[in-house]
Structure 1
């Protein structure tokens, strides 16, 4: 596919090696783009008929296994420590999904890489084992029988490269180099180009707003008319 103008919203590490630009990308942009690292994330939803984690007795007796800062689980802002033997480093209790109470579990970093060779069923069992350890006084059949198990393995997504991006700390020099259009025809709007929330959805939205404003201004000046 060829085009005269485009907005590129792909991770630079993926795009710069697979797309031929004319004129060529500046060496600085190439170097910065190649150094953006992709993260490794598996996102899981476990849906239940009843929110057993909201039971007062379960909350009082919830087990704290390990206080290592690298293995912290977030419970709506409250920290729960879990052992490194468990896959999820972040667990959130969210609103109902399809009428069911839901837990969101994020398997990230080295742990995500270590379980890539397992099946979805095996990863599900690891997460259930983690929940059983966190809530030892909740009946096992309540934990072991989610009405739905939904998994998004970002490591298998060829367009994201793993999600979330493990990139640069935002600072003016890097972000300006990544943001700069090519020949006024190719605009870069991926999350990695954002000056805030680099690598996250918020960064992608900010980058999209920035590029759309840039394109509208270029159209306004080229037509000599004020666009509303």
Structure 2
């Protein structure tokens, strides 16, 4: 009987850990290439832990594997949330090696990077379907949000019943148009920010604590 009792206690402990509110929630940062996902991930990580998540670059698909920063504790307006940030590769329907050639890259390197980026997109989709508890969706507010990729990803997020925040990034640029993002996805709240300059991060952190706490 003692063995059975101990086994039951161990199972209860495992289940409690799996469903504990104190465990970090995995928040995936998603969006198209060059929307500023890694810049935002680094901004959040540096503000709350002092460390970056990964390198930033103007070259498309610089993030070709999901990168994770664990135990980022964010507190705002009396609410605290402990999250693991998952910075994912930019999702696109096709990765063309010629994109890299435009950045003075040798063809062999361009082909290799395009292959890695394609694998990274598949990994990002796996994380979305299996391994995240919520989504921060980052869009470049200077670009038209009505794209096949954005519509598809938002649809998948909704079908998974995941909490999602849409961040309209790059408000520091004159071509920024936050309203067009709000109009594209009116069913979700849109928060404007500049991850590069740190503009409106107080609201960003307040929303993260509210939605994912």
Give the structure-2-normalised TM-score.
0.26
More helix by share: 2
The one of the two structures with greater contact order (alpha-carbon pairs below 8 A, sep at least 6) is 1
Structure showing greater Rg: 1
Q: Under a length normalisation based on structure 1, what TM-score does the superposition of the two structures give? A: 0.24
